[in-house]
Amino acid sequence: MGGGETPILLVGAGHMGGALIAGWRRAAAMSPKDLLIRDPSPGEAARTAAAAGAVLNGPDEGLAAARTVILGVKPQVWRGIATELAPRLAPDAVVISIMAGVKAADIAEVLPGRPIARVMPTTAAAVGEGAASIWSADPAARARARALFAPLGVVVDLDEEAQIHAATAASGSAPAYVYAVVEALEAAGVRAGLGPEAARDLSRAAVTGAAALMRTTGEDAAVLRRQVTSPAGTTEAALQVLVGGGELQALVERAVLAAARRSRELGGEG
Ligand SMILES: NC(=O)c1ccc[n+]([C@@H]2O[C@H](COP(=O)([O-])OP(=O)(O)OC[C@H]3O[C@@H](n4cnc5c(N)ncnc54)[C@H](OP(=O)(O)O)[C@@H]3O)[C@@H](O)[C@H]2O)c1
């Protein structure tokens, strides 16, 4: 990265904003001194970046230097925070929102005149394994978002803003679904007779190992699934229960649609 995107002002360095900071630092994508961070209760990533030269909760006069402003606060509180910041920001700063739900048009009302991009990231950005869905009506803002998120993992361009709801439901929120599966697997391992520690170690390794294989081989999930499913074997017995009658697909679909609905509600679409 380099050129016109820095300094970057990150407003909100919680779980997601902190993951971005950690990812950029890990990838050496920018110098910490090019990062301005605003957060009343900064997490470890923000504090470590500050120790390395980032400006954490610096004076308001410094905010106008930011070429890119990332909105990483909760959708429920962003409006008040952005309204307060608006007069302090450069009139041509590019605004990138990572917030679920909040529409570009609403951001444009509060921060008028600035190009806006929306990005739906995942927390694995912290380790360079993130997935970021990007939408903007402005090609330069889209390119800016791409430049910022490419060092943090996979980047996917969306054609329409409304697709961010689906990206939120099927990607941004999805790591939590996988963690829930690991928790369920761990509990089921105990129920099947393993000690708690063995169940924890084995369920974690099963999922991280499966994910690593998927990444390193590039194979479709269906191919990898078939590779570990011998006819009439143990895995097939389990898959009969999970996917035999479409149970898992139906459950995941309901979950994803519930998240997409909530994303629309957060954006005021009801
Ligand atoms: N977590 C994810 O996996 C994920 C994935 C994709 C997108 N997102 C989006 O990322 C955004 C943040 O989510 P999160 O999970 O990171 O939430 P979070 O952990 O609560 O982080 C938000 C941070 O903003 C801080 N904040 C509050 N008021 C502020 C202000 N006036 N100025 C600057 N910072 C302020 C909060 O501090 P306090 O704790 O003191 O309020 C908190 O540290 C949300 O809009 C969410 O939709 C999250």
pLDDT 10s per residue in the chain (270 long)? 656 889 999 999 999 999 999 999 999 999 999 999 999 999 999 999 999 999 999 999 999 999 999 999 999 999 999 999 999 999 999 999 999 999 999 999 999 999 999 999 999 999 999 999 999 999 999 999 999 999 999 999 999 999 999 999 999 999 999 999 999 999 999 999 999 999 999 999 999 999 999 999 999 999 999 999 999 999 999 999 999 999 999 999 999 999 999 999 998 886
Instruction: Give the whole-angstrom CA distance, residue 144 versus residue 130.
Output: 17
Do the domain assignments include residue 215?
yes
Amino acid present at 254: R
Which residues does a 6 A CB cutoff place in the pocket of ligand 1?
11-12, 14-17, 38-41, 72-75, 77, 81, 98-100, 120-123, 172
Give the count of domains, the chain.
2
Atom of ligand 1 nearest to the CA of 41: 40
Same domain for 136 and 180: no
- Which CATH number fits the domain that encloses residue 238? 1.10.3730.10
**Site to substitute for ligand 1 among 39, 70, 107, most atoms within 8 A of C-beta:** 39
Same domain for 106 and 70: yes
| DSSP 3-state percent helix, strand, coil across the chain (nearest 5) | 60, 15, 30
Do the domain assignments include residue 270?
no
Same domain for 150 and 235: no
Same domain for 67 and 200: no
Do the domain assignments include residue 121?
yes
Question: How far is the centre of ligand 1, averaged over its atoms, from the C-alpha of 211 (Å)?
Answer: 27
- Structural domain that includes position 24: 3-167
4, 70, 89, 142, 258 from 137: Cα distances, Å: 19, 17, 21, 8, 27
Instruction: Give the whole-angstrom CA distance, residue 130 versus residue 4.
Output: 23
Same domain for 94 and 145: yes
Same domain for 190 and 91: no
Same domain for 127 and 229: no
Asked which of 147, 167, 187 is the last residue of a domain, the reply is 167
